[in-house]
Each structure stands twice: as structure tokens, then as C-alpha cells.
Structure 1
Amino acid sequence: MAFLPPQEGRESYQCTVQKCESTTCPESASVCTATKGCFNEIQRFGTPSSATNQMFKQKGCSKDTCSELEFSATLGAQRRFSFVNRCCTSDNCNKGDLTLPQASEEANGIQCLAYYEEPGTQSILSFLNCTGNETKCVAVIGTAAGSSHPFAFVIAGMGCATESACNKSMTVLNSTNILTFCSSDLAWSSVPDSTGLRPASISTVPMLIVLLLLKVLL
């Protein structure tokens, strides 16, 4: 596919092109020509077992004006997602690999309802002490990218997130469309033991998340 010539008076750049799902990616010899800059992106989905961790790296030419973005979210069942996208405007400026910032372990005083579910798994609703700059309570729904079914469920979760993770609709890990919503309704409020009440049952949690996220769509 031929690239259109850059607009008059606008500089063009050669950008490294790469896409891989590994901590260490092979060196790429592919390049593209951009008039709006290069991007360099890294994503990681951490789980309790390193065998089920997921990593995705992507580099290339920005189709539109490149917007830098960095966010993270810690969900129930010890799941944590981190995302960093950087922009630059010089030849092969995106060639080097990005590194994700270390997660903070310092509590920030925020508590959020926490939950995580994938098809075929079971989870329980709990609460999570948020750390670092994850100061928002978030709900997230993930569906399969490219599926013709609008509700091809992949994951549902709740937990703590940076403010930059709120109200996003995007594709992550090259395979999952996510929709996020932050709300004080997801903050933890303890119930006295004398009442005998417990947090919402597992069967009601996915529906709770869907209803919350529908607020974004309506």
C-alpha cells in the first residue's frame, strides 16, 4: 500500500514497525513513513502466575495526532493491567523498548470493591486497599476484539485504577475491547457483622458492572 506524500511544509519521519507478545521482541527491520509522528507502546497483564502473564508491544506510525497515555488498574484476584504509549517525532525515535513503571506498594487510603471473572472461572467480591496513584474505583468489561457479537464476554472486573484509566473504550493486548467506568459507587463500605449481610453475591456482580458501564453508553 503506497503512502500519501506528506502535506506541504510538514516534515515526514521513518518509524520502526513492530508487534509482538513477548518480554523480549526480535529486532524489527520494517519501517513506515509518518507525518504525525511515531508511537511506542507497551502493555502488560499481570496475574498470580508468571505462566499466565500477558505482554504486548507495538511500534509504528501514528495515523492521527499521537497522544501519550499511561494508566494502570489493579483488579480482584491479583490481576493488574499496565499501559504506556509514548510519541516522538524523529527518524526511528521509537526503536528502543519501553519499560513499565514499578507498581507502588504504598497505600493511599482509598478502598474499592474488587472482583475478577473470566468465562469458566469463579470469583468472590472482596475489597482492595489501593496503592500509589491508583486513586479511582473502576469497573471494566472486556469483549473479544473482532467478534460480531457485541457481548462476546472476555473479562469483567472491579478494583483500583489511575484517573487516566477512567472512561476508556479501546483495544488492549491486541485481542480485547475494554470499556471502563470509574465511580464512587464502587468504593468499599463495610457492613457491620451484626447484620449478617455480606457483599453482593457472585452472580450479581457481572450484572452490576454491566449496568454501571451502560451509564457511559447512554
Structure 2
Amino acid sequence: MSWSSVSKSLLAVCVITEFAVIFAENFTCEHSLCINGDCLINGSCETSKSCFSQTQELKMPELSRSQTLHEKGCSPDECTELAFSATLGDQRTFRYDHRCCAADTCNQTDTQSSQVPAEANGVQCLACYMEAGIQCTPTLLNCTGSETKCVSVIGTDAGINSPPSIVMIGVGCATESACNLNMTVLKTVNIHSFCSSGFSVLPTSSPTTDSTGLPPTTSTATDSTGLQLKSFSAVLVLISLLLLKVFF
């Protein structure tokens, strides 16, 4: 066999192998978008990357309603899984769960956002939630489940406004995966978050004794808590300024 024939044969093998790899990597994903139960998109897509399934849920107990978003589709780039939760002032909770898979219709099953267990984990954070024109009263929040970090978050309009308008500011308990995020949630809000070790709070276990050897009175404990909550208003302003400095 001549050298030219060998070269042609090798080229043919390479081309066939390349096409085989390409076709082997392509698969179909479910493509859908449902907001508060109303599905705006319902179909399928093809990708050589991966499929994704995402669930977001914002609960607002004081309004007896919640916002939910279920989205599935083809990942345009490398898919990165992320799950986090946060509980802010007024018991507003947010759950986010983004999962990846790589097989035909592997994202068909709905992703259910995990619920935070009711058991307290021993961590306390100051909690507050503010929207435009609405102030909040700082409170102490007992963190539960895997929400072991004190989080501060600011949300801005995801539109094209420059500078972006502030939608909300909140602090409370969160999972560690909720720290240092810069992303869009619920299609309309850009969130920026950071976590801290928390503020100094009064112990919830056995009370300590004062100089007389007796436990502090209830009024003293109440006064101390009041001072902490009052000082938190100033801390919240500082948090807001710090967050604004990060992305402006």
C-alpha cells in the first residue's frame, strides 16, 4: 500500500471517529420555565454539555403567599451545581437548588427545594428585611438546620437601570453556600451577599452571675438586648454602604 493510501485511510478514520464522538455527546434535555405554576415554555433542547434543573422559592409568611420558579434546559456552558437557603427578617425564606446531569431527559424530574429543619442549631443572628419605603425592626433569630452563617444581602433591579435601583436589603441566617454570591434570582433581582461570624448576642443557656454572685435581673438582660438591637440599625446602614461599594 502506498504512503498516500495510508494517509487517506488514517484521515478517514479520524473523521469518522470525530463524528462518532460528536454524535455520542449530544443528548436531549427537557426545556421548560414555570413561574408560580404558570408554564411559559414547555419543550426540549439538544446539547453537548449537560442538562440542568432549577428550583427557586421565596416564602413570605406575613403575606401568606410565595413565589416559585421551576426551570429546566440545556446548559450553554459548564454546568455548576449550587444549593443554598436563607431565612431573613419577618421569617422570609429563600431556597435555591440548581442541579446538573448528562444523559437523555435526565432533568425530567422536578427539583424540590430542601426544607430547613425546625431544630435550632445554636447559632443566633440579627434579622431584618427592608424593601423600598418599608423599614424593619431588628430582631434576634435562632438559626435552624444547616443555616449556620449570618448573612447580609442586598438586591437590585435586574433591569438595565444605571445605577441599578435597590429592591431589598436583608440580614439573617443562611447556609455557607449562600455566602459571597453575585447572581440573578427569580429572573428579576440581582443579589449580592456576604457572611460574617455574627454579632454578639446574649447567651440562651444558663445565665451568668454578676458581681454580687446573683444572676442578672430580667430588666438588665432586656436592656442589653435593646442596646444590641438599637446598635444594629447603625450596623445595617454600614452593611448597605459596604455592599453598595462592592458592585458600584
After TM superposition, give the deviation of residue 194 of structure 1 in Å. 5.3
Distance 2:223 2:183 in 1: 43
Retained in 1: the 8 A contact 2:33–2:40?
no
Moved more, 122-131 or 194-203: 194-203
Unaligned runs of 5+ in 2: 1-17, 203-219
Query: Deviation string for 1:98-147 (max 9, x for gaps)?
Result: 11222211111101110101112221111111000000000000001023
Instruction: Report the structure number with the largest CA radius of gyration.
Output: 2
**Structure 1 or 2: more helix by fraction:** 2
Name stretches of at least 5 consecutive residues in structure 1 with no aligned partner.
1-6
Normalised to the residue count of structure 2, the TM-score between the two structures is 0.76
* RMSD across aligned positions (CA): 2.6
Report if the CA contact (8 A) 1:126-1:199 is conserved.
yes
Assess, with a 3 A threshold, how the Cα gap between structure 1 residues 73 and 16 changes in structure 2: closer, same or farther.
Answer: same
CA deviation string 1:178-198 (max 9, x = no partner): 0010012x4342495556735
Change (3 A) 1:87 1:67: same
- The correspondence of residues 87-106 of structure 1 with structure 2, limited to 5 A, is 87-106=100-119
Aligned to 2:59: 46
Question: Helix, strand or coil: the match of 2:104?
Answer: coil
| Cα separation, 2, equivalents of 1:29 and 1:20 | 9
Aligned residues: 210
The amino acid across from 2:240 in the alignment is V
Structure 2 match to 1:13: 27
Change (3 A) 1:25 1:13: farther
> Conserved in 2, the CA contact under 8 Å of 1:127 and 1:188?
no
Structure-1 separation of matches of 2:72 and 2:200: 39
Give the structure, 1 or 2, with the largest relative contact order (CA under 8 Å, sep 6 or more).
Answer: 1
Aligned-residue sequence identity (percent) comes to: 47
1:3 matched to which residue of 2?
A: none
Shift of 1:17: 1.1
What is the TM-score normalised by the length of structure 1? Answer: 0.85
Residue of structure 2 equivalent to 1:130: 143
Superposition map of 1:1-80 within 5 A: 9-10=21-22, 11-22=25-36, 24=37, 26=39, 29-49=42-62, 51-80=64-93
Residue 187 (structure 1) aligned to one of 182, 185, 199: 199
Deviations 1:24-64 (A, max 9, x none): 45596422211110000000001114644111111111111
Contact 1:133–1:162 (Cα < 8 Å) also in 2: yes
